[in-house]
């Protein structure tokens, strides 16, 4: 009886994991030293109440929040289609507890926190650029470049440690002379040489085949990184690209105000820039469906995928039973004024299995 229950649970997990992956959900880990403003940022982004304190390790278990991606194009499409419902695409942010020097060796629960980053698609490194005697500074100085170097080294050292174990395992398995295993072993040895030079995996010149081969290992330094300087406008510094400078305390306070209040006071909230920046470093595109007039919806897709794969995100039948699709760039739909008018003007094109979906495409799948 217990065995049957266990098999059922495993099958459910496999099915859920499959559909989670198919749904093209993407997540960004908010990473930094303690007390740099990570939880403040998370609260401003998600409007969720989280524990924020002036001492290290207020956060132990990661906070998670799903955020809608700002999209003026979807608003304009809806204005033309007049749907019953509008559904934007989303991205998940995960507030990871503060890392410290030596995290890869387990310092400050570092192994636990680094493992939480592994499951994310991108990393948002938050760096401290503000002085506040009431908020403990674990670095004892305002030095964003030094913080960045510490965090990058911790990610790199953790990858090196994981890579060592992978190589040992592959060396043992390579005795079978399996060609794929030998190829993986050679690649991992190449990666190790570059890590020894303190080079991030994302900085190594790899082929698409090699990148695909490494994907299963979820290396931390293979993930795209965006840098955010949390400043009170007193610190100016050169940071790696891409980066953004924000006062997160101000952003948190502004996020609690309504759109009307912000407009009345002529204030701007810059968090949308950050959300879009994280979306962009993942090399994602957005396509749209209009489902008659029931729903105008934005969908997230990895750049370079074909029409049936996009259809599979909407519904598995649209991939498995795909015949063709009708496609129009969103601007042309707006100019035409309606889907029907766009078809009359010959602006809607018929595409097949090999069509590469473009950012901003409005698609109707046919099965």
Q: Does 308 share its domain with 250?
A: no
Cβ neighbors of 32 (< 8 A, separation 6 or more) are 38, 98, 99, 125, 126, 127, 128, 147, 151
63 in any annotated domain = yes
Q: Does 258 share its domain with 338?
A: no
What does the pLDDT read at residue 57? Answer: 43
299 in any annotated domain = no
60 in any annotated domain = yes
Q: Does 79 share its domain with 110?
A: yes
What does the pLDDT read at residue 111? Answer: 58
Q: Does 195 share its domain with 108?
A: yes
Any idea what the CATH number is for the domain that residue 352 is in?
3.10.20.30
69 in any annotated domain = yes
Separation of alpha carbons 50 and 16, rounded Å: 28
Q: Does 276 share its domain with 310?
A: no
* pLDDT tens-digit map of 131-167: 888 888 888 888 999 999 999 998 998 899 999 999 9
Q: Does 74 share its domain with 202?
A: yes
What does the pLDDT read at residue 61? Answer: 66
Q: Does 231 share its domain with 308?
A: no
Cβ neighbors of 322 (< 8 A, separation 6 or more) are 307, 308, 311, 353, 365, 366, 367
Structural contact between residues 116 and 92, judged by C-beta atoms closer than 8 angstroms: no
What does the pLDDT read at residue 63? Answer: 83
Q: Which residues pair with 326 in a beta bridge?
A: 350, 364
Q: Which residue has the tokens 């969720």?
A: 48
Per-residue pLDDT of the chain (367 residues; tens, 9 = 90+): 555 554 554 444 444 344 444 445 789 999 999 889 888 899 888 876 544 444 444 445 678 888 888 899 999 999 999 999 999 998 999 988 767 665 555 554 445 667 788 889 999 999 999 888 888 888 888 899 999 999 999 899 889 999 999 999 999 988 888 899 999 999 999 999 999 998 999 999 999 999 999 999 999 999 999 999 999 876 667 777 788 999 998 888 888 888 788 888 887 778 888 988 988 899 899 999 998 778 999 999 999 999 999 999 999 999 999 999 999 999 999 999 999 999 999 999 999 999 999 999 999 999 8
11 in any annotated domain = no
User: What is the residue-averaged pLDDT of the chain?
Assistant: 84
The number of folded domains in the chain is 2
The pTM of the full predicted model, rounded to 2 decimals, is 0.81
Q: Does 331 share its domain with 269?
A: no
What does the pLDDT read at residue 21? Answer: 42
Q: Does 209 share its domain with 257?
A: yes
Residue that finishes a domain, picked among 231, 248, 281: 281
What is the separation of C-alpha 255 from the centre of its chain, rounded to a whole number of angstroms?
A: 21
15 in any annotated domain = no
- Terminal Cα distance for the chain, rounded: 42
What does the pLDDT read at residue 105? Answer: 55
Q: Does 176 share its domain with 313?
A: no
341 in any annotated domain = yes
Q: Does 263 share its domain with 308?
A: no
Residue that finishes a domain, picked among 281, 296, 327: 281
Residue that finishes a domain, picked among 281, 315, 348: 281
The range of the structural domain enclosing residue 361 comes to 304-366
Helix (H) or strand (E) holding 226: strand 225-231
Q: Does 277 share its domain with 320?
A: no
For residue 289, cis peptide bond before it (omega within 30 degrees of 0): no
224 in any annotated domain = yes
SS3 (DSSP) at 171: helix
* Of residues 275, 290, 283, the one with CA closest to residue 330: 290
The pairing of strands 85-87 and 295-302 is parallel
């Amino acid at each position: 009886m217990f065995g049957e229950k266990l098999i059922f649970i495993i099958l459910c997990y496999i099915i859920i994991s499959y559909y989670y992956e198919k749904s093209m959900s993407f997540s960004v880990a908010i990473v930094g030293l303690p007390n740099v403003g990570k939880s403040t940022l998370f609260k401003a982004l998600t409007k969720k109440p989280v524990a924020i304190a002036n001492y290290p390790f207020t956060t132990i278990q990661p906070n998670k929040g799903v955020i809608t991606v700002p999209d003026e194009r979807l608003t304009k499409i809806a204005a033309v289609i007049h749907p019953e419902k509008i559904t934007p695409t989303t991205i998940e942010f995960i507030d990871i507890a503060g890392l410290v020097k030596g995290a890869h060796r387990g310092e400050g629960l570092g192994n636990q926190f680094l493992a939480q980053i592994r499951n994310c698609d991108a990393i948002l490194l938050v760096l401290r650029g503000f002085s506040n005697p009431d908020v403990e500074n674990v670095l004892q100085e305002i030095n964003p470049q030094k913080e960045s170097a510490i965090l990058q080294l911790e990610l790199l050292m953790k990858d090196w440690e994981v890579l060592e174990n992978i190589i040992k395992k592959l060396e043992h398995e390579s005795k079978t002379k399996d060609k794929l295993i030998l190829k993986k072993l050679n690649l991992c040895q190449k990666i190790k040489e570059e890590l020894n030079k303190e080079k991030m995996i994302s900085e190594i010149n790899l082929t698409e085949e090699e990148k695909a081969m490494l994907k299963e290992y979820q290396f931390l330094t293979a993930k795209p990184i965006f840098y955010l300087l949390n400043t009170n406008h007193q610190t100016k510094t050169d940071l790696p690209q891409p980066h953004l400078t924000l006062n997160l305390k101000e952003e948190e306070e502004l996020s609690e105000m309504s759109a009307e209040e912000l407009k009345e006071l002529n204030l701007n909230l810059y968090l949308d820039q950050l959300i879009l920046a994280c979306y962009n470093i993942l090399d994602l595109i957005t396509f749209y469906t209009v489902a008659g007039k029931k729903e105008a919806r934005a969908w997230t897709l990895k750049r370079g995928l074909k029409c049936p794969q996009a259809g599979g995100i909407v519904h598995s039948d649209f991939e498995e039973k795909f015949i063709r699709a009708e496609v129009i760039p969103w601007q042309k739909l707006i100019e035409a004024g309606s889907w029907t008018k766009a078809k009359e003007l010959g602006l809607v094109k018929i595409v097949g299995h090999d069509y590469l979906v473009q950012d901003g495409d409005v698609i109707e799948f046919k099965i």
